[in-house]
């Protein structure tokens, strides 16, 4: 143990404060021009969804205007948005992908 009787071995243990990182939803926005199959491909490729889940998400976006593809920490969410926007631009589709704090 600590011998602090002569004040030579005092150990101060500050409390460990663990804070959970903020989370961000990554959303796809509907438009009139991006082909449905392209959106399905995006959701499969960048959000690691099955074809069935990707199709459901695409239809949700198509019918509701916006839909969630996943929830991530800030840097991961930012990377997803950039990857999707670059891929859409490369294929000349107007698909929009955004993030929002939960």
The secondary structure element, H or E, covering residue 59 is helix 51-64
State yes or no: residue 56 binds ligand NFA (CB under 6 A): no
From the CA atom positions of the chain, what is the Rg in Å? 23
Residue of 34, 46, 81, 97 interacting with ligand NFA (CB under 6 A):
34
Start-to-end C-alpha separation, the chain: 46
Choose between 16 and 64: whose C-beta lies nearer to ligand NFA.
Answer: 64
State yes or no: residue 25 binds ligand NFA (CB under 6 A): no
Residue in the structure block whose two tokens are 């074809």: 51
Q: How far apart (Å, rounded) are the C-alpha atoms in residues 75 and 78?
A: 5
Residue of 35, 73, 86, 89 interacting with ligand NFA (CB under 6 A):
35
Choose between 9 and 36: whose C-beta lies nearer to ligand NFA.
Answer: 36
Helix (H, G, I), strand (E, B) or coil at 60: helix
Which residues of this chain interact with ligand NFA, rule CB under 6 A?
Answer: 28, 30-32, 34-36, 39, 58, 61-62, 95
């Amino acid at each position: 143990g600590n011998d602090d009787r002569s004040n030579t071995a005092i150990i101060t243990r500050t409390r460990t404060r663990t804070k959970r990182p903020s989370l961000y939803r990554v959303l796809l926005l509907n438009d009139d021009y991006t082909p449905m199959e392209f959106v399905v491909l995006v959701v499969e490729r960048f959000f690691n969804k099955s074809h069935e889940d990707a199709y459901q998400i695409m239809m949700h976006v198509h019918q509701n205007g916006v839909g969630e593809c996943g929830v991530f920490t800030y840097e991961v969410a930012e990377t997803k948005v950039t990857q999707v926007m670059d891929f859409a631009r490369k294929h000349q589709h107007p698909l929009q992908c955004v993030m929002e704090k939960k």
